[in-house]
Amino acid sequence: MNWQQICGIDLLPREYGVPVLVQDHPVALFRTHDDQLFAVGNVDPFCGAGVISRGIVGDRSGEPTVASPMLKQVFSLRTGQCLDDPNARLPVYPVRRRADVVEVAVP
């Protein structure tokens, strides 16, 4: 695993997303209410705009989700799968917290 230090955990409020650059890849980082971290691609596959991190974090029947702010499709934060369209999926990245630093792995 090629772990990269990305940012301090203090930049990542709970139930909120932030955009980060991981080796030139736009990535959306999320921290849920129970302090789990998720990293998915920031680019909305439906419109090509880098906006996923600006979506609303929530859950659908317990599955942690983010809704794209552009046209409101909902994606699983765990798998990146779009829950409204089986053909769309966001890339997901391994993410972890070491001390107060958030790290994302890229292939």
Partner 1 sequence: MTRTLVVVGHGMVGHRLVETLRERDATDAWQIVVLAEEPRPAYDRVALSSYLDGKSAADLSLTSHELLDDPMVELRLNTAVTAIDPTARRVSTSDGLDVAYDALVLATGSRPFVPPVPGHDLDGCFVYRTIEDLDAIRAAAVEGRPGVVIGGGLLGLEAANALRLLGMRAHVVEMAPRLMPLQIDEGGGQVLSRLVGDLGLTIHCGAATKSVDGDEHVRSITLADGTVIDTDVVVFSAGVRPRDELAELAGLRRAERGGFLVDDNCRTSAENIWAIGECAAVQGRCYGLVAPGYSMAEGVAEQLLEISDGTFPGADLSTKLKLLGVDVASFGDAHGQTEGALEVVYANNAAGTYAKLVLSDDARVLLGGVLVGDASAYAVLRPLIGRELPAPPEQLLLPAGSGVDSGALPADAAVCSCNNVSKGDITAAINEQGLTDVPGIKGCTKAGTSCGSCVPMLKNLLAECGVRTSKALCEHFPQSRSELFEIIRATGVGSFSELIGKHGSGRGCDICKPAVASILASLGSGHILDGEQAGLQDTNDRFLANMQRNGTYSVVPRVPGGEITPEKLIALGEVAKEFGLYTKITGGQRIDLFGARVEQLPLIWQRLVDAGFESGHAYGKALRTVKSCVGNDWCRYGVQDSVSMAIRLELRYRGLRAPHKVKAGVSGCARECAEARGKDFGVIATDKGWNLYVGGNGGFTPRHAELLAADLDDDQLIRLVDRFLMFYVRTADRLQRTAAWLEAMDGGLDHLREVIVEDSLGIAAELEAAMQRHVDGYTDEWAGVLADPGKLARFVSFVNAPDAPDPTIRFVQERGQIRPGPVVLPMPVVANQEVRT
Footprint on this chain of partner 1 (rule: CB under 8 A): 6-7, 11-16, 18-21, 24-26, 29, 32-33, 36-39, 41, 43, 45, 47-51, 54-62, 64-65, 67, 69-70, 72, 74, 78-80, 89, 91-97, 106-107
Q: Enter the tokens of residue 64.
A: 């942690």
CB of 88 to partner 1, least distance (A): 11
Q: Which is nearer to partner 1, 85 or 96 (CB)?
A: 96
| Side chain identity at residue 21, one-letter code | L
Q: Measured between alpha carbons, how far is residue 30 from residues 71, 81, 86, 87 in Å?
A: 19, 16, 22, 23
CB of 100 to partner 1, least distance (A): 14
CB of 86 to partner 1, least distance (A): 14
> Which residues have C-beta within 8 Å of that of residue 4, sequence separation ≥ 6?
22, 23, 103, 104, 105, 106
